[in-house]
Amino acid sequence: MPFLNDNSIRERNAIVLIGGGGHCGVVIDIIREENLYDEILISDLPENLGKYVLDVRIDYTDDQLEELFSVGVKHAFITVGKIGLDDRRKQLYEKLKAIGFEIPTIISNSAHVSRYASIGEGTLVGKGATLNAGAIVWRNCIINTGAIIEHNSIIYDDVHIATGTILCGAVTVGENSFIGAGSVLIQGVNIQKDTLVGAGTVVVKDIKQSGVYVGNPARRIRWQRMKSKCLGS
């Protein structure tokens, strides 16, 4: 493990990524494409120290984040994925802000983002994703590969819009929701916060009660039934 008091870290344009799973690899790839940082560090669980994500070794744990900040690593990004309705990403975001980290917005150069769209800090816009005019994405969200966010849609904090999902115009998605891969939300629908929409679901009317929804058209089910279904990411 590198020494945290190494002055070379202080002189570099560095970012620490929180979480060393598959989503971390996606973020590393985009950072490399955009040449955003000279050095990429990864923090993860102690049992994962020494493992690699692509060409980056996991050298730190979350207990060392304050120390990393104190030696000049001022940027951090959450690379823990979001499947379901857990709030781990929200907790990590609050921890990073309390330490003082700057949390950037990371956008793939293959994404199509209107100059009239707005994207909050800590949000990832993945490869081939589209954000059209008037779309607003708040903080700490994942807009995954190939997702389409049409005009005047609003996505609140801590939401994952999974691969290939389509939000038609003026859709609103409440905070801490998960919209599974390949779902379609028709124009103007509103999704209550803490809602999970399963992969391939078609939402044709407002979802006013938090919970798990699947099917065409979307219907609310018990969580236990969802265990056998693919959520999609």
- Torsion angle (degrees, nearest 10) of CA 103, 184, 154, 119: 30
**For the chain, how are helix, strand and coil distributed in percent, rounded to 5?**
20, 30, 55
Task: Reply yes or no on whether 112 is catalytic.
Answer: no
Distance of alpha carbon 170 from alpha carbon 186, whole angstroms: 9
How far is the C-alpha of 100 from the C-alpha of 43, rounded, in Å? 16
Q: What span, in angstroms and rounded, lies between the C-alpha atoms of 42 and 28?
A: 10
3-class SS at 3? coil
Query: How many Cβ atoms sit within 10 Å of the Cβ of residue 161?
Result: 30
What are the CA-CA distances from residue 214 to residues 1, 135, 209 (Å)? 45, 25, 14
CA–CA separation, 24 and 80 (whole Å): 7
Torsion over CA of 177, 183, 187 and 190, rounded to 10 degrees? -20
Q: What are the tokens at 120?
A: 């909050």
Q: Which of 23, 75, 112, 151 is catalytic?
A: 151
Annotated catalytic sites, by residue?
A: 151
